[in-house]
Amino acid sequence: MIDDKSKNKMNAIWLEATGCSGNMISFLNSENPGLYQILTNIINLTYNNTLMGAEGDYAFEKFLETLETEFILLVDGAISVKDNGQYTIVANYKGKKITALEAVKMAAEKAKYVIAVGTCASYGGISAARPNPSESKSLQDILTRLVIRLPGCPCHPDWVVGTLAHLVGYGVPELDEEGRPLIFYGVTIHDNCTRRGFFERGIFASKFGEEGCMIRLGCRGPITQTDCPRRKWNGYVNWPIGANTNCIGCAQPGFPDGTEPFVRY
């Protein structure tokens, strides 16, 4: 059995489904707390395809054992339902193929909390882009229970770590009507944009690589709710607008079909 020596640490399964596993890579970029501190102080991660030592049947047993404990389910990627979910097989347990669809349903039924990490799990995202060949759906689309949504392509590691810390220490954080924690998703990018002053003064960029508000290039900052401008990324050094490119709305429902074209001149 999975033993849990720490009282405050909750078991957790991070299940990768129909996606690129980019949210897990982003999670590895967490800094203070880094991965080691997260896994020793906040959660006791018992199952994850990218990190775990075990493989094969023995690995999937860890998944099954965790279902009998109090745990948090994190899902990275959309859920493909085409042909009964057979476009994403997460395990072959004792001769039976386990689809991501099946694994998510099994775990979500028993989890104390369910978190959709990234835009694919939250809204379908790139995996569900038209014509959606894998019939990918969001986590909420296949579940009836509350799903905490942490959209972003990828999800910022702080948004996951902050949500986990809140769940473990203080319970469910305050959410908006879509299930997004207000502390990270409360205002639009445009509200806090470092280039807001250009917008107010009517100074607009006509191509990438220019100073000026990029709304005329198709910036999705006005409709995209994240704290990217204040938080920034990767050691807090930069963000897409800091790289002189517009926001493409990667954390919004409807991304990517509804936020195209990403750039127009």
* Interface of this chain with another protein, residues 94 to 123, rule: CB under 8 A: 95
Among 33, 41, 52, 178, binds another protein (CB under 8 A): 52
- Cβ–Cβ < 8 Å for 97, 86: yes
CA distance 163 to 160: 5
Q: Is the CB of 38 or the CB of 108 nearer to another protein? A: 38
The SS3 of residue 264 is coil
- Cβ–Cβ < 8 Å for 155, 118: yes
Q: Tell me which stretch binds another protein (CB under 8 A): 130-138, 143-151, 175-183, 187-195.
A: 130-138
The minimum distance between CB 18 and another protein, in angstroms, equals 6
Among 33, 242, 253, 254, binds another protein (CB under 8 A): 242
249 part of the interface to another protein, by CB under 8 A: no
Close Cβ partners of 259 (under 8 Å, ≥ 6 residues apart): 220, 248, 249, 250, 252
Q: Is the CB of 89 or the CB of 146 nearer to another protein? A: 89
CA distance 217 to 152: 21
Q: Tell me which stretch binds another protein (CB under 8 A): 109-117, 161-169, 170-178, 202-210.
A: 202-210
Q: Tell me which stretch binds another protein (CB under 8 A): 125-133, 140-148, 170-178, 181-189.
A: 125-133
Among 8, 89, 112, 176, binds another protein (CB under 8 A): 89
Mapping DSSP onto H, E and C, the string for 186-214 reads CCCHHHHCCCHHHHHHCCECCCCCCCCEC
* Site string (144-183) toward another protein, x via CB under 8 A: ---------xx-----------------------------
Among 8, 133, 182, 201, binds another protein (CB under 8 A): 133
206 part of the interface to another protein, by CB under 8 A: yes
Close Cβ partners of 171 (under 8 Å, ≥ 6 residues apart): none
Q: Is the CB of 33 or the CB of 146 nearer to another protein? A: 33
- Helix axis angle, 100-110 to 56-66, nearest 10°: 30
Q: Tell me which stretch binds another protein (CB under 8 A): 104-112, 139-147, 184-192, 254-262.
A: 254-262
256 part of the interface to another protein, by CB under 8 A: yes
Count interface residues toward another protein (CB under 8 A).
84
Q: Is the CB of 154 or the CB of 179 nearer to another protein? A: 154
| Interacting residues with another protein between 6 and 25 (CB under 8 A) | 16, 18-25
CA distance 182 to 184: 5
- Cβ–Cβ < 8 Å for 14, 45: yes
Close Cβ partners of 126 (under 8 Å, ≥ 6 residues apart): 19, 20, 119, 120, 153, 255, 256
